């Protein structure tokens, strides 16, 4: 690569640095087409083996490095029909035949499984066979979603090509008010920044983000997909490294060096006040249809769903329990809870959180993508109104196209389950404080 192409760009963003390292170049600039080496490839039972095997067999090739491939069964679990069972059987056989030791069968959602098992680290370039793969960016790595054909090429060669993206910096300052979480940031941003940010990275920062636990940071990066961005990313800090170590991952000596340079060129910079943010709700049929919860107060619901990679981690279940403890779900409402992983289920049980949810009338579902992806238990009938912690509410995503899905944070979903309609969760939290 001609060095003169880069000489006018001295300062670089975190994403540009990771891509340059993976491309074996001193630097890259936005719009530059490069070939990169992939550090990790992840896919699930829907996007991976059943798509890969026919092509691998046709080409007569194997995986470039089975130790760098992670497969998770999470979409068709547990099997609800013969076709699902066959897909899972094929996934298990593929992992055995191709020597994939990092195979997590029915243990949780892929985006949660990766950090739970220490697979992510700062500076890594990872490819995921799912649109919400950007969740990995919370750990200071560049992780984006790829389609099945691209993923097949990646697992065979260990490489892919990409246009180096532009970066938008989004800083949040201030402390959250009661009943507000990272989910509200993302619903707000879907409205303010729109969902047409292809070819861009959303880099999150500011005091609010630095104060977040990793599970909340994961929400920000996960829903970069809803902004239409290639991925989301957060500069690593000691919170990042503590999480990686606690989950058996490797922390390299240069881990904290993976950050944007002062003076790096951003496509745009935004700063928002977290203290001014109220709980948000996105109305059907787009995450961008968001507004402060007061605008939707009183909307009757039939179902409340606490699930998905973005909405059923341990912190999410804690938020729901803060509302539900000592209360009960409205008689006409179904409250369904699908913890994001078996590890989350175990930890929530040990902490008494799961007991609080069940005592309130919640129905426990298996860990997996389930109703969020329109699969398994919890699908909606025509005319059903659901409020959900999931990341998408497109028409027909959670069941019948004539159903209606509202998106909200776990506090708001739990409060709606109790009231039988959308209500401001801060009222219930304040009531608990007064007791």
How far is it, in rounded angstroms, from Cα 155 to Cα 127? Answer: 10
How far is it, in rounded angstroms, from Cα 295 to Cα 289? Answer: 11
DSSP 234-294: E---HHHHHHHHHTT----TTGGG-SPPTTPPPSEEEEEEGGG---EEEPTT-TTSEEEGG
Residue 10: its pLDDT value, please? 85
Cis before 64 (ω within 30):
no
2 pLDDT higher than 70? no
Q: What is the dihedral of CA 65, 68, 73, 75, to 10 degrees?
A: -110
- Is 36-162's fold the same as 282-434's? yes
Nearest to 43 by CA among 151, 115, 160: 151
Q: How do the domains of the chain map onto residue ranges?
A: 36-162, 282-434
CA dist list (Å): 8 to 124, 235, 269, 326: 26, 24, 21, 62
Interval 210-233: pLDDT, tens: 999 999 999 999 999 999 999 999
Specify the residue for token string 């090429």.
153
Instruction: Look over the chain and give the mean of its residue pLDDT values, rounded to a whole number.
Output: 96
Interval 245-272: pLDDT, tens: 999 999 999 999 999 999 999 999 999 9
How far is it, in rounded angstroms, from Cα 223 to Cα 66? Answer: 29
How far is it, in rounded angstroms, from Cα 48 to Cα 150? Answer: 11
- Is 36 within 8 Å of 125 (Cβ atoms)? yes
CA dist list (Å): 55 to 61, 91, 153: 9, 15, 9
- Give residue 376's pLDDT band: very low, low, confident or very high (50, 70, 90): confident
Beta bridge partners of 144: 127
Average pLDDT over residues 332-337: 98
Q: Which two tokens stand for residue 246?
A: 């606690």
Average pLDDT over residues 405-423: 98
- Give residue 69's pLDDT band: very low, low, confident or very high (50, 70, 90): very high
Interval 266-293: pLDDT, tens: 999 999 999 999 999 999 999 999 999 9
The CA-CA-CA angle for residues 336, 339, 344, to 5°, reads 150
Average pLDDT over residues 343-356: 98
> What is residue 354's three-state secondary structure?
helix
Residue 96 burial (CB count, 10 A): 10
Interval 137-146: pLDDT, tens: 999 999 999 9
Nearest to 177 by CA among 328, 329, 293, 326: 293
CATH class of the region 282-434: alpha beta
Average pLDDT over residues 368-393: 95
> What is residue 125's three-state secondary structure?
strand
6 pLDDT higher than 90? no
Average pLDDT over residues 93-107: 98
237 pLDDT higher than 80? yes
What does the DSSP 8-state code read for residue 368? Answer: S
Average pLDDT over residues 69-97: 97
Average pLDDT over residues 404-427: 98
Average pLDDT over residues 364-391: 95
Average pLDDT over residues 393-409: 96
5 pLDDT higher than 50? no
- High-pLDDT (> 90) share of the chain, %: 96
Average pLDDT over residues 299-319: 98
DSSP 4-30: GGTTT--S--HHHHHHHHHHTSS---T
Residue 432: its pLDDT value, please? 73
Residue 71: its pLDDT value, please? 98
How far is it, in rounded angstroms, from Cα 308 to Cα 249? Answer: 24
- Give residue 3's pLDDT band: very low, low, confident or very high (50, 70, 90): very low
Interval 153-191: pLDDT, tens: 999 999 999 999 999 999 999 999 999 999 999 999 999
How far is it, in rounded angstroms, from Cα 248 to Cα 359? Answer: 34
Interval 7-66: pLDDT, tens: 445 899 999 999 999 999 999 999 999 999 999 999 999 999 999 999 999 999 999 999
CATH class of the region 36-162: alpha beta
């Amino acid at each position: 690569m001609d060095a003169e192409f880069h000489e006018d760009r001295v300062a670089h963003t975190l994403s540009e640095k990771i891509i340059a390292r993976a491309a074996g170049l001193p630097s890259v600039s936005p719009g530059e087409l490069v070939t990169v080496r992939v550090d990790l490839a992840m896919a699930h039972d829907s996007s991976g083996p059943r798509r890969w095997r026919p092509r691998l067999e046709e080409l007569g090739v194997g995986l470039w490095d089975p130790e760098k491939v992670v497969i998770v069964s999470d979409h068709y679990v547990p099997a609800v029909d013969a076709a699902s069972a066959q897909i899972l059987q094929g996934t298990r056989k593929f992992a055995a035949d191709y020597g994939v030791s990092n195979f997590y069968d029915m243990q949780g959602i892929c985006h949660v499984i990766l950090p739970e098992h220490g697979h992510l680290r700062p500076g890594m370039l990872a490819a995921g066979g799912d649109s919400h793969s950007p969740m990995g960016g919370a750990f200071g790595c560049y992780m984006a979603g790829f389609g099945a054909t691209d993923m097949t090429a990646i697992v065979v060669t260990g490489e892919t090509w990409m246009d180096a993206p532009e970066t938008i910096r989004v800083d949040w300052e201030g402390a959250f008010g009661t009943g507000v979480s990272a989910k509200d940031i993302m619903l707000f941003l879907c409205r303010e920044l729109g969902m047409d940010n292809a070819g861009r990275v959303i880099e999150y920062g500011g005091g609010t983000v630095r104060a977040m636990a990793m599970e909340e940071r994961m929400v920000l990066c996960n829903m970069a997909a809803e902004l239409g961005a290639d991925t989301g990313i957060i500069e690593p800090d000691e919170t990042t490294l503590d999480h990686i170590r606690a989950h058996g991952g490797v922390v390299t000596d240069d881990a904290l060096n993976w950050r944007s340079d002062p003076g790096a060129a951003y496509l745009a910079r935004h700063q928002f006040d977290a203290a001014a943010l109220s709980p948000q709700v996105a109305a059907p049929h787009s995450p961008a249809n968001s507004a402060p919860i007061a605008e939707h107060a009183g909307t009757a619901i039939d179902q409340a769903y606490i699930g998905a990679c973005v909405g059923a981690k341990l912190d999410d279940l804690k938020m729901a329990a803060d509302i539900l403890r000592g209360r009960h779900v409205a008689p006409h409402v179904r409250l369904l809870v699908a913890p994001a992983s078996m590890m989350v289920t175990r930890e929530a049980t040990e902490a008494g959180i799961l007991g609080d949810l069940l005592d309130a009338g919640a129905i426990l579902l298996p860990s997996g993508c389930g109703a969020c992806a329109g699969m398994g238990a919890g699908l909606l009938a025509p005319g059903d109104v659901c409020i959900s912690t999931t990341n998408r509410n497109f028409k027909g995503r959670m069941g019948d196209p004539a159903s209606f899905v509202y998106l909200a944070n776990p506090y708001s979903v739990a409060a709606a389950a109790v009231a039988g309609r959308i209500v401001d969760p801060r009222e219930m939290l304040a009531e608990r404080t007064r007791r």
